[in-house]
Chains A and B, each alone.
Chain A
Amino acid sequence: MQYHARFFGLIGMNLNVPPGEPITFELPDSASYGDLLDIIGARFGSLFPPNVWNAETRSFHPQVVAMGDGRSLASAGRETPLAKDGTATFFVPIAGG
């Protein structure tokens, strides 16, 4: 199945794609959030700014929020199934100003 991801601000700045542009990944049917993280890490892990991506645990820093399929994927965990043709967004939340 296909799944999409958008990387914003700090997370997306080095990926050589327009900021926030959806990137499509081919995943097995019934793929989980962990499968998405694995393919993101393989493709972009070395391009993220320091400490954003943990290659050992194949996960983002806890400050990186992942929202997709109407929920917090990071809170739900790696085993969370993904919706076919869905989109996850990754960003670091700060607010105010």
Chain B
Amino acid sequence: MYGVMGKMLWVDLTSGEITAEVPADDLYRDYVGGYGIGVRLLYDRMPAGIDPMGPDAIFGLTTGPLTGTRSITGTRFTVVGKSPKTGTWGDANCGGNFGPALKFSGYDAIYFRGISPKPVYLYVRDGKAEIRDATPYWGNGVDVEAELIKELGDDVKVAWIGQAGENKNLMASVMNDLGRAAARNGLGAVMGSKNLKAVAVAGTQKVPVADEAGLNAYVTESMRAAKAENSPAYQLFTTFGTSGLAAASAMNGDSPVKNWVGSGEVDFPGASKVSDVALDKYRVRRTGCWHCAISCGAYLSVPDGPYATAGAYEHRPEYETLAAFGSMLLMDDTEAMLKVNELCNRAGMDTIAAGTTIAFAIECFDRGIINTADTGGLELRWGNAPAIVEVTRQMAERTGFGAILADGAEKAAERIGKDSAQYAIHVHGEEPGMHDPRYSPGMALNFHLDPTPGRHTTGGTGELEFFTGSDELPLPAPLNVHKRDYAAKGPAHRFLVNDRQVANSAGICIFSAFIAPPDALARELTFVTGEPWDIGRIQATGERIQTLRHAFNLREGINPVRDCPVPKRCLDGTELKSGMGKGYVVDLDAMRDSYLSAVGWDKETTVPSADGLRALGLGDLVKDLHPEAVAP
């Protein structure tokens, strides 16, 4: 097989046994890699109903065939498991430098089960794997990365958890590259539950590419064209990264404001203080993921003052962070923004979940549901930067009032009680991404129906509605429907979701779509794997992966129609005072029915038909989802 190392590592942390497995070629062909292969293996090997932080839970670090190749943005790894935050399928992907290094160490993925009796890390170098004592590093945040590199060698790359993961905070992320986060679904808590502090990898093995000359020529020409065109999106990425969007999104209604009830122009006039130009004043240098031709990152430094950076520099906040701690909390203090970003990255904490949970707490404080006696003296007011910074620190450490908030808005509402639950904005336990469906209606479908609830990066019409700003989806007929033609959007959503499943599983970044030619995914998969990939195969494979992710949840007894409602605040724009969502009410039911019809899932139970499962090559799922069809 090309594009893959052909081996996966299985580590039992209870017994200490390490086994290398050579998967069948069909696994790679049918499920690509990343969470595609991850969900296939976990569906088969992890029974329904297990405790996501118990010994039977499997946690994986995975790559795709494009990871570690010259493909445009072929940098990403994906963490997989059962989410302790939602009880659903869990995955999160991340750039940086760990993914390529994992493949160079000789493996496409590493899966862990069991629980170590003491803190450990796994060290893999050129095919040899060893469990080592991590007791000296327990309690560290980002510093564990530098310490392991110092101990093991400069070529070592490290995936790690910080204090949030150690404390099993349900918003804990898996980190790498000094603060890049596989943030969503609380999978850092799963790693922490296993007493697995870090995974350090290094190696000299090369990813086999079927047509290396063809890939190199294609990528070189594509990037030459992108640089020559020098499009506004390319310039924005390389100048400001995703921070270049924050102020505009707050003003237009793309960013949720004030725990999803505010309006940017009215409630957050200081948006530009936590966006692009304002942040750029603190830039030390630009940075990017491994060999990325876009390189949208930057390191920033606050030299002194109450919010001075702890290290020489820290990653620039991404858009999602700027919205979750900016417009959501009405916090426009630039240096405080950099500090909360640093606290979350150093401790390994999902900034979307953290910001949204603090917004919930502030609204509770504002409404008198909690007071300073509950918060340990913290004046949790809108925009009160010192209190916001302090409660973020407490959440990472799971101390003080932060311990109430450390597991997300849903759990915080359970702890606070007093009818506070109505102000906790989440979908089945997960705080939604920072793109408002009242602006981009299709985003509500992702929040509602993606197997990782509240998700904003798994494809669909919402992203396209936002990226283009167009009322009509820029797709070929008959997919080119108006974004508010709710009952007609299902086929377009299906097409875009399927495409993204393959892109995510292949190990590339969604930002490549702004730079690379439209056929880049198929072309690069063909060059790398040596197999013919076209839009038809991408669609069929993507639907297989999405259906299996969904089936994982169905087997857990989760039906999104019943269990994953999207809060009314995210759908009803009649009270908004400004922004593009003003006056609109998103008809999620109509969008859902349209999508479920398009994919052939039952409109009430969301169970795919038996014939549909067989057509996707998922006939083995029929016994689980249609037991009546196989009953004797």
Contact = CB atoms under 8 A, between A and B. Distances in A.
A51 B272 contact: no
Contact of A10 (B239, B272, B580): B239
Please provide the 4 A-B residue pairs with the shortest distance between their CB atoms, ordered closest to farther.
A97-B318, A65-B469, A91-B248, A8-B248
Contacts of A65: 468-469
A95 B582 contact: no
A12 B272 CA distance: 11
Nearest to B443: A95
B167 interface: no
B597 interface: no
Contacts of A10: 232, 235-236, 239-240, 244, 276
A76 B435 CA distance: 23
Contact of B277 (A19, A93, A96): A19
Contact of B232 (A64, A76, A95): A64
A41 to B, nearest CB: 16
Contacts of A18: 272
A96 B233 contact: no
Interface of A: 6, 8-13, 18-21, 49-52, 61, 63-67, 70-72, 74-76, 87, 89, 91-97
A70 B580 contact: yes
Given A49-B235, A51-B231, A61-B232, A95 B583 contact: no
A75 B435 CA distance: 20
Interface in B263-308: 265, 271-272, 275-278
B463 A95 contact: yes
A65 B580 CA distance: 12
A50 B228 CA distance: 11
A95 B466 contact: yes
B273 to A, nearest CB: 9
B614 to A, nearest CB: 35
Contacts of A95: 242, 245, 319, 435, 456, 463, 466-467
Given A50-B230, A67-B252, A70-B583, 4 more contacts: A13-B239, A49-B232, A61-B231, A63-B231
B311 to A, nearest CB: 20
Contacts, number: 137
B253 to A, nearest CB: 9
Contact of A75 (B276, B472, B511): B472
A63 B318 contact: no
B510 interface: yes
A96 B468 contact: no
A94 B231 CA distance: 12
Nearest to B271: A20
A9 B245 contact: yes
Nearest to A19: B272
Contact of A63 (B233, B457, B463): B233
A20 B231 contact: no
Question: Most B CB atoms within 10 A — which of A11, A19, A95?
Answer: A95
Given A72-B471, A92-B233, A19 B251 contact: no
A29 B232 CA distance: 32
A89 B510 contact: no
Contacts of B254: 93
A61 B229 CA distance: 11
Contact of A96 (B235, B457, B471): B457
Contacts of A19: 247, 272, 275-278
A96 B252 contact: no
A20 B275 CA distance: 10
A10 to B, nearest CB: 5
A64 B319 CA distance: 18
A52 B468 CA distance: 15
Contacts of A52: 232, 235
